[in-house]
Structure 1
Amino acid sequence: MLPLLAFVGRPNVGKSTLFNRVIGRRLAIVEDVPGVTRDRQYAEADHDGRRFRAVDTGGFTPDSEAQLVRAVREQAEAAIREADAIVLVVDAEEGLSGADQELARILRKGGKPVLLAANKVDSDRREKNLDLGELHALGFDVFPVSAEHGRGVSDLLDAAVTHLPEPPEGSEEEQGQKGPVRLAVVGRPNVGKSTLLNRLIGEERFVASAMPGTTRDAVDEQIEHRGRTYLLTDTAGLRKKRHIVDKVEVFSAQRALRAIERADVVVVLTDATDLGVEQDARIAAQAEERGRAVILAVNKWDLVQDKEGQAERLRKEAARHLQHVGYAPLLFVSAKEGTRVQKILDLAAELHDQASTRLKTPELNDWVQRMQDEHPAPLSRGYPVRFSYAYQVGTQPITVAIQCNRPEAVDAGYRRYLTSGLRERFELRVPVRLVFRQKTRRTPRGTKGQRA
Structure 2
Amino acid sequence: MKPLVAIVGRPNVGKSTLFNRLVGRRVALVQDEPGVTRDRHYADADWEGRIFTLIDTGGFVPGEKDSLLKQVREQAQFAVEECDVIIFVVDARVGMSTADEAVANYLRKSGKPVVVAANKLDNESGLMQSLAGEFFRLGLGDVQGISAEHNLGMGSLMDSVVAKLAPKVEGEDAEAPPDDGKIRVAIIGRPNVGKSTLVNAILKEKRVVTSEVAGTTRDPIDSEVTYKGNELILTDTAGIRRKKTIAHQVEQYSVIAALKVLERSDVAVLLMDATEPHVDQDAKLAGLSMDRGRALVIVVNKWDLIAEDKRKQDAFRDDLKIALKFVGYAPVIFTSALHGSKVEKVVDVAVELAKQFRFRAPTPQLNRLLDYMVDNNPAPIVKGKPLRLYYIAQVAAAPPTFALTCNAPEGVPDMYKRYITNQIRKTFDLRVPIRLLFRERPGKAKREARKKPHLAGKGGKGGKRAGRDRD
Normalised to the residue count of structure 2, the TM-score between the two structures is 0.51
1:292 matched residue in structure 2: 294
Cα 1:191–1:250 shift into 2, 3 Å? closer
1:411 matched residue in structure 2: 413
Q: Does the alignment pair 1:183 with 2:177?
A: no
Which residue, out of 234, 237, 242, partners 1:235? 237
Normalised to the residue count of structure 1, the TM-score between the two structures is 0.53
* Helix, strand or coil at the partner of 1:262: coil
CA offset at residue 397 of structure 1?
Answer: 0.7
1:395 matched residue in structure 2: 397
Deviations 1:283-338 (A, max 9, x none): 11100110100001011122222522221121111211111111111101110111
Cα 1:189–1:320 shift into 2, 3 Å? same
Cα 1:222–1:338 shift into 2, 3 Å? same
Whose RCO is larger (CA < 8 A, sep 6+)? 1
Distance in 2, Cα, partners of 1:230 & 1:359: 24
Cα 1:289–1:363 shift into 2, 3 Å? same
Deviations 1:142-165 (A, max 9, x none): xxxxxxxxxxxxxxxxxxxxxxxx
2:114 matched residue in structure 1: none
Distance in 1, Cα, partners of 2:380 & 2:338: 52
Report if the CA contact (8 A) 1:389-1:402 is conserved.
Answer: yes
Report if the CA contact (8 A) 2:302-2:336 is conserved.
Answer: yes
Which residue, out of 310, 315, 319, partners 1:313? 315
CA offset at residue 353 of structure 1?
Answer: 0.9
Distance in 2, Cα, partners of 1:400 & 1:425: 14
Summarize the alignment of residues 157-306 of structure 1 with structure 2, pairs less than 5 Å apart: 179-202=181-204, 217-236=219-238, 245=247, 253-305=255-307
* Helix, strand or coil at the partner of 2:352: helix
Distance in 2, Cα, partners of 1:383 & 1:248: 52
Cα 1:394–1:264 shift into 2, 3 Å? same
Structure 1 gap ranges (5+): 1-176, 207-214, 239-243
* Helix, strand or coil at the partner of 1:372: helix
Distance in 2, Cα, partners of 1:298 & 1:252: 17
* Helix, strand or coil at the partner of 1:315: helix
Report if the CA contact (8 A) 2:298-2:331 is conserved.
Answer: yes
CA offset at residue 375 of structure 1?
Answer: 1.2
Distance in 1, Cα, partners of 2:353 & 2:180: 13
* Helix, strand or coil at the partner of 1:279: helix
1:367 partner amino acid: L
Report if the CA contact (8 A) 2:255-2:285 is conserved.
Answer: no
> Mean Cα displacement is larger for which, 426-435 or 344-353?
344-353
2:368 matched residue in structure 1: 366
Structure 2 gap ranges (5+): 1-178, 241-245, 452-471
Distance in 2, Cα, partners of 1:300 & 1:420: 32
Report if the CA contact (8 A) 2:266-2:294 is conserved.
Answer: yes
Report if the CA contact (8 A) 2:219-2:239 is conserved.
Answer: no
Report if the CA contact (8 A) 1:216-1:249 is conserved.
Answer: no
Distance in 2, Cα, partners of 1:250 & 1:331: 25
Report if the CA contact (8 A) 2:401-2:437 is conserved.
Answer: yes
2:387 matched residue in structure 1: 385
Report if the CA contact (8 A) 2:405-2:440 is conserved.
Answer: yes
CA offset at residue 356 of structure 1?
Answer: 0.8
Deviations 1:183-217 (A, max 9, x none): 011111111000000000119999xxxxxxxx974
CA offset at residue 218 of structure 1?
Answer: 1.4
1:431 matched residue in structure 2: 433
Cα 1:354–1:320 shift into 2, 3 Å? same
Cα 1:250–1:331 shift into 2, 3 Å? closer
Report if the CA contact (8 A) 2:268-2:295 is conserved.
Answer: yes
Distance in 2, Cα, partners of 1:421 & 1:274: 34
CA offset at residue 219 of structure 1?
Answer: 0.9
Cα 1:273–1:250 shift into 2, 3 Å? closer
Distance in 2, Cα, partners of 1:184 & 1:274: 21
Distance in 2, Cα, partners of 1:350 & 1:252: 26
CA offset at residue 372 of structure 1?
Answer: 1.4
1:319 partner amino acid: K
CA offset at residue 178 of structure 1?
Answer: 6.8
Identity in percent: 44
Distance in 2, Cα, partners of 1:334 & 1:356: 29
CA offset at residue 181 of structure 1?
Answer: 0.7
* Helix, strand or coil at the partner of 2:381: coil
CA offset at residue 426 of structure 1?
Answer: 1.0
CA offset at residue 435 of structure 1?
Answer: 0.3
Distance in 2, Cα, partners of 1:247 & 1:282: 15
2:19 matched residue in structure 1: none
Q: Does the alignment pair 1:329 with 2:328?
A: no
2:32 matched residue in structure 1: none
CA offset at residue 226 of structure 1?
Answer: 0.3
Report if the CA contact (8 A) 1:351-1:430 is conserved.
Answer: yes
Q: Does the alignment pair 1:350 with 2:355?
A: no
* Helix, strand or coil at the partner of 1:389: strand
CA offset at residue 279 of structure 1?
Answer: 2.1
